[in-house]
Chain A
Amino acid sequence: MKITKLSDFFVTGDPLIYGADVAIGLTMVAIVVALTAFKRWGWLWREWLTTVDHKRIGIMYVIASLLMLFRGGVDALLMRTQLALPDSMEFLKPDHYNDIFTTHGVIMILFMAMPLMFGLFNLVVPLQIGARDVAFPLLNSLSFWLFFMGAMLFNVSFVIGGSPEAGWLAYPPLSEKMFSPGVGQDFYIWGIQISGIGSLMTGINFIVTILKMRAPGMKLMKMPMFTWSVLSSCLTIILAFPILTVTLALLFIDRYFGAHFFTLDMGGNPMMYINLIWMWGHPEVYIVVLPAFGIFSEIVATFSKKRLFGYGSMVFALMSISVFSFFTWAHHFFTMGSGANVNAFFAVTTMIIAIPTGVKIFNWLFTMYKGKITFELPMLWTMAFIPCFVVGGMTGVMLSVAPADFQFHNSYFLIAHFHQVLIGGVVFGYFAGLYYWWPKVFGFKLNEKLGRWAFWLWNIGFYVCFMPQYVLGLMGMTRRVSSYSWDTGWWSWNFVSTIGGFLMGIGFLFQVWQILHSIKFMKRVKGDPWGGRTLEWSIPSPAPFYNFAITPKVEGRDDWWRRKELAAQGIQDPPPKYEPIHMPKNSGTPIVMSVFWFILGFGFVFDWLWLIIPGAIGIAGTMLYHSFNYDTDYYVTVDEIKKTEAKAGRVV
Chain B
Amino acid sequence: MKYKGWFMRAAALLPLALMTFLLSGCGDVVVLDPKGEIGKQQLDLIYITTGLCLIIIVPVLILTFWIAWKYRAKSKKKEAYQPEWDHSTKLEAIWWGVPILIILLIAIVTVQYSYKLEPSKAIASDEKPITIQVVALDWKWLFLYPEQGIATVNYIQFPEKVPVQFQLTADAPMNSFWIPQLGGQIYTMSGMAMKLHLIADEPGDYFGTGANFSGEYFGKMTFNAKATSRADFDKWVADVKQSYPAMSKEGYDELAKPDTSLVRSFSAFPNGLFDGIVNKYVVAGESGHHHGGSDADASKEETSVTENHEGHDMGDMDMSEMDMGDMDMSGADDQGAAHQH
Q: Are B106 and A95 in contact (CB under 8 A)?
A: no
Q: Mark A159-202, 1 if CB is under 8 A from B, else 0.
A: 00000011100010110000100000000000000000000000
Q: Are B32 and A306 in contact (CB under 8 A)?
A: no
Taking the complex as formed, is A549 at the interface, i.e. its CB lies under 8 A from any CB of chain B?
A: no
Q: Are A355 and B3 in contact (CB under 8 A)?
A: no
Q: Are B290 and A489 in contact (CB under 8 A)?
A: no
Interface residues of A (CB under 8 A from B): 94-95, 98, 165-167, 171, 173-174, 179, 264-267, 269-271, 304-313, 333, 335-344, 347-348, 351-352, 354-355, 358-359, 361-363, 365-375, 383, 386-387, 390-391, 394, 397-398, 400-411, 449, 452-453, 456, 460, 464, 468, 471, 473-476, 478-484, 487-493, 496
Taking the complex as formed, is B5 at the interface, i.e. its CB lies under 8 A from any CB of chain A?
A: no
Q: Are B71 and A401 in contact (CB under 8 A)?
A: no
Pick the residue among A337, A397, A491 that contacts B120 (CB under 8 A): A337
Pick the residue among A335, A452, A475 that contacts B187 (CB under 8 A): A335
Closest 10 CB pairs of A and B: A489-B27, A406-B184, A337-B320, A481-B219, A492-B25, A339-B323, A362-B95, A307-B86, A174-B173, A410-B211
Contacts of B280 in A (CB 8 A): 264
Least distance between A336 CB and chain B CB atoms (Å): 5
Pick the residue among B45, B60, B174, B186 that contacts A390 (CB under 8 A): B60
Taking the complex as formed, is B216 at the interface, i.e. its CB lies under 8 A from any CB of chain A?
A: yes
9 contacts between A and B (CB under 8 A): A264-B280, A270-B190, A309-B87, A339-B322, A370-B82, A374-B72, A403-B113, A409-B184, A409-B185
A449 to B85 alpha-carbon distance, docked (Å): 33
Contacts of B26 in A (CB 8 A): 489, 492
Contacts A305-B83, A479-B213, A489-B27 given; indicate if A340 touches B190 (C-beta within 8 A). no
Max count, chain B CB within 10 A of own CB: residue among A375, A406, A479, A482: A406
Contacts A405-B184, A476-B180 given; indicate if A366 touches B72 (C-beta within 8 A). no
Contacts of A468 in B (CB 8 A): 22
A475 to B117 alpha-carbon distance, docked (Å): 21
A471 to B21 alpha-carbon distance, docked (Å): 14
A394 to B103 alpha-carbon distance, docked (Å): 11
Nearest chain-B residue to A405 (Cβ)? B184
Q: Are B174 and A480 in contact (CB under 8 A)?
A: no
Contacts A337-B319, A492-B24 given; indicate if A355 touches B96 (C-beta within 8 A). yes
Least distance between B147 CB and chain A CB atoms (Å): 23
Contacts of A166 in B (CB 8 A): 213
Pick the residue among B31, B113, B174, B218 that contacts A173 (CB under 8 A): B174
Taking the complex as formed, is B92 at the interface, i.e. its CB lies under 8 A from any CB of chain A?
A: yes
Pick the residue among A173, A267, A460, A474 that contacts B14 (CB under 8 A): A460
Taking the complex as formed, is B137 at the interface, i.e. its CB lies under 8 A from any CB of chain A?
A: no
Q: Are B185 and A307 in contact (CB under 8 A)?
A: no
Taking the complex as formed, is B337 at the interface, i.e. its CB lies under 8 A from any CB of chain A?
A: no
Q: Are A370 and B115 in contact (CB under 8 A)?
A: no
Q: Are B30 and A340 in contact (CB under 8 A)?
A: no
Q: Are A452 and B120 in contact (CB under 8 A)?
A: no
Q: Mark B275-308, 1 if CB is under 8 A from A, else 0.
A: 0000011010010011010000000000000000
A341 to B326 alpha-carbon distance, docked (Å): 12
Q: Are B114 and A402 in contact (CB under 8 A)?
A: yes
A373 to B57 alpha-carbon distance, docked (Å): 23
Contacts A355-B99, A397-B106 given; indicate if A372 touches B81 (C-beta within 8 A). yes
Q: Are B114 and A404 in contact (CB under 8 A)?
A: no
Among the 9-residue stretches B48-56, B153-161, B245-253, B266-274, the one with 4 or more Cβ atoms under 8 Å from chain A is: B48-56
Pick the residue among A267, A351, A473, A491 that contacts B106 (CB under 8 A): A351
Least distance between A94 CB and chain B CB atoms (Å): 5
Q: Are A267 and B289 in contact (CB under 8 A)?
A: yes
Taking the complex as formed, is B314 at the interface, i.e. its CB lies under 8 A from any CB of chain A?
A: no
Contacts A179-B215, A309-B86, A341-B325 given; indicate if A488 touches B207 (C-beta within 8 A). yes
Pick the residue among B25, B61, B190, B318 that contacts A491 (CB under 8 A): B25
Q: Are A406 and B119 in contact (CB under 8 A)?
A: yes
Q: Are B110 and A359 in contact (CB under 8 A)?
A: no
Max count, chain A CB within 10 A of own CB: residue among B86, B184, B190, B212: B86
Pick the residue among A341, A368, A401 that contacts B45 (CB under 8 A): A401
Contacts A335-B176, A373-B68, A493-B22 given; indicate if A340 touches B324 (C-beta within 8 A). yes
Contacts A269-B290, A493-B22 given; indicate if A337 touches B107 (C-beta within 8 A). no
Q: Are A371 and B71 in contact (CB under 8 A)?
A: yes
Nearest chain-A residue to B56 (Cβ)? A358
Q: Are A337 and B173 in contact (CB under 8 A)?
A: no
Least distance between A173 CB and chain B CB atoms (Å): 5
Least distance between A620 CB and chain B CB atoms (Å): 38
Q: Are A403 and B81 in contact (CB under 8 A)?
A: no
Least distance between A302 CB and chain B CB atoms (Å): 12
Contacts A271-B290, A335-B184, A397-B49 given; indicate if A174 touches B215 (C-beta within 8 A). yes
Nearest chain-A residue to B179 (Cβ)? A476
Q: Are B185 and A340 in contact (CB under 8 A)?
A: no
Taking the complex as formed, is B199 at the interface, i.e. its CB lies under 8 A from any CB of chain A?
A: no
Taking the complex as formed, is B16 at the interface, i.e. its CB lies under 8 A from any CB of chain A?
A: no
Taking the complex as formed, is B262 at the interface, i.e. its CB lies under 8 A from any CB of chain A?
A: no
Nearest chain-B residue to A272 (Cβ)? B292
Nearest chain-A residue to B79 (Cβ)? A370
Contacts A358-B99, A372-B73 given; indicate if A391 touches B289 (C-beta within 8 A). no
Taking the complex as formed, is B309 at the interface, i.e. its CB lies under 8 A from any CB of chain A?
A: no
Q: Are A452 and B3 in contact (CB under 8 A)?
A: yes
Least distance between B11 CB and chain A CB atoms (Å): 7
Contacts of B28 in A (CB 8 A): 475, 489
Contacts of A98 in B (CB 8 A): 213, 215-216, 218
Q: Are B27 and A490 in contact (CB under 8 A)?
A: yes
Taking the complex as formed, is B183 at the interface, i.e. its CB lies under 8 A from any CB of chain A?
A: yes
Give chain B interface residues in 60-108, CB to chain A under 8 Å: 60-61, 63-64, 67-68, 71-74, 79-88, 91-92, 95-96, 99-100, 103, 106-107
Q: Are A94 and B64 in contact (CB under 8 A)?
A: no
A374 to B318 alpha-carbon distance, docked (Å): 60
Taking the complex as formed, is B131 at the interface, i.e. its CB lies under 8 A from any CB of chain A?
A: no
Known: A370-B85, A406-B183. 20 other contacts (CB 8 A): A94-B218, A305-B73, A337-B119, A337-B319, A339-B323, A340-B114, A340-B118, A348-B110, A358-B99, A366-B91, A374-B74, A394-B53, A397-B49, A404-B42, A404-B45, A407-B46, A407-B180, A407-B183, A449-B1, A488-B27
Q: Are B186 and A406 in contact (CB under 8 A)?
A: yes
Q: Are A401 and B106 in contact (CB under 8 A)?
A: yes
Contacts A403-B42, A475-B30 given; indicate if A308 touches B86 (C-beta within 8 A). yes
